[in-house]
Amino acid sequence: NKLRYIYMSKVLNATEYSYKYDILTLSIGNKSYISSEFFDALQKLGIYHLYVISGTHVAFLSGVIFGVLKALKLPLNTIKIIIITALVLFLCLNFFSPSVFRAVFMGVLLLICSFFKKKPYIAIISLSAILQILMNPYVIYHAGFQLSYVTTYFILLSRPFFMKYNGLTQLILITVICELSTLVIVLIQFNEISLSGLVLNIVFIPLFSFLIFPSVIIFNILIYFPYLEFID
Q: Report pLDDT digits (tens) over 97-118.
A: 777 888 888 889 888 888 888 8
pLDDT (tens digit, 9 = 90+) per residue, 3-43? 888 989 999 988 889 999 999 988 888 888 888 898 888 88
What is the length of the chain? Answer: 232
- The number of beta carbons lying within 10 Å of the beta carbon of residue 166 is 7
- Could you tell me the pTM of the whole model? 0.75
Question: 42-81 burial string, b = 16+ CB within 10 Å, else e?
Answer: bbbbbbbbbbbbbbbbbebbbebbbeebeeeeeeeeebbe
* Per-residue model confidence as pLDDT tens digits over 124-162: 889 988 988 998 899 898 887 888 889 889 988 998 888
The answer to whether residues 94 and 107 touch, using CB atoms and an 8 Å cutoff, is no
Closest CA to 65 of 217, 219, 230: 217
